[in-house]
Amino acid sequence: MQKETTIYDIADKLGISATTVSRGLNNNPRINKNTREKIHKTAEEMGYQHNTLASNLRKRQTKTIGILLHEVNSNFVTSVLAGIEKVVTKEHYDILITHSAESGEREIANATNLLNKRVDGIIVSLAMSTKNIDHFTPYFERKIPIVFFDRVMNDADCTKIIINNFSCGYNATKHLIEQGCKKIAHITADLTRNVYNDRFLGYKKALKDHQLTYKKDLIKICSLDKAATIEATRELLIQKPDAFFVTNDFAAAVCIEVIHEHGLRVPEDIAVIGFNNDTLGDLITPKLSTVDYPGILMGEVAATELMKKIKLKNSNKKFADQTMTIPSELVIRESSLKSQKKKS
């Protein structure tokens, strides 16, 4: 393996210390101009590969931000990514993405790796199985800016960009109740994740406010993959629900398929509403009612906050952590319009 020229080789060649070479290469005024020029000339002659990163480390900036994602395969996450890219590329920052595939363990490894790559800041959405945010302590200690989005720790004291999952869950359920539904099933995921728990609490509150009793038997918590969703839907159908509130659009589409396989109609027999407003929603039959999740805006806000924090940090200023809530709204299509179908 052909050896790379190091500052030690340049030092030997010039008969000076590697420290002097290193300082010379970084134009440290403590090294006199002639020596500096000699060092640069020799470095060039010897084909020295200047290590941008190492020099950036000295400047303590890499012009790179890290993004820790819990998944990549959803329109929501790609929209967030697009929003982030729009903002940071304008500021000439590179982006390194890591993927936890919902594994807390992987997330910890990714956080450490990005720290070693000395990113200037990170944007984080927590994995399904993440139990706490201790693995970000080194970032907090070194004052490396962090912005959490969507999947956050409600109690953690840091900058968070979220939607109001409670009111979204409340409004989705209220809409189903207004359609005449009285027995509303809910398919969701691990309630230790804020987004799912808040939607669930909104669902419960809506039932309560409309004098409907909450029944454990109408709730299924699963991984939301196809097999798990099919099983959850089948088990819930035994309870004869007249509506399903499903916590993402893919699972809602699978749920509708299973309902059809049981010879039942959507929305006439069972109304269905999803969550996220993924592109698949208006490609299925009936078109899926859902909750719009403004991913691009969320990404833009997260990135703008991070850029602010980085600039403040570089000018030794403090930044105040805050929670910002992005507006989101119901998107009513065919799958939930039970009352109108009955009229017609």
Residues contributing to the site for a copy of itself (CB under 8 A): 1-2, 4, 8, 11, 17-19, 22, 51-54, 57, 60, 64, 71-75, 77-78, 81-82, 85, 89, 94-99, 101, 106, 109-110, 113, 116-118, 143, 226, 250, 253-254, 257, 279-280, 282-285, 313-314, 316
Name the nearest CA neighbour of 272 among 283, 294, 293, 257: 257
Quick check: 170 and 203 in contact, CB under 8 A? yes
Query: Shortest approach of a copy of itself to residue 289 CB, angstroms?
Result: 16
Query: Shortest approach of a copy of itself to residue 258 CB, angstroms?
Result: 11
CB closer to a copy of itself out of 62 and 336 = 62
Amino acid at 289: S
- Three-state DSSP class for residue 319: coil
Rounded to whole angstroms, how far apart are CA atoms 331 and 48?
59
Query: Shortest approach of a copy of itself to residue 230 CB, angstroms?
Result: 12
Query: Shortest approach of a copy of itself to residue 298 CB, angstroms?
Result: 16
Distant-in-sequence contacts of 25-29, Cβ < 8 A, 24+ apart: 25/50, 25/55, 26/55, 26/58
Query: Shortest approach of a copy of itself to residue 235 CB, angstroms?
Result: 20
DSSP string, 122-137: EEE---TT---SGGGH
CB closer to a copy of itself out of 194 and 247 = 247
CB closer to a copy of itself out of 213 and 316 = 316
CB closer to a copy of itself out of 32 and 51 = 51
CB closer to a copy of itself out of 214 and 319 = 319
- Three-state DSSP class for residue 275: coil
Rounded to whole angstroms, how far apart are CA atoms 328 and 35?
62
What the block records as the tokens of 183 is 């027995």
CB closer to a copy of itself out of 97 and 219 = 97
Query: Shortest approach of a copy of itself to residue 23 CB, angstroms?
Result: 9
Rounded to whole angstroms, how far apart are CA atoms 22 and 53?
14
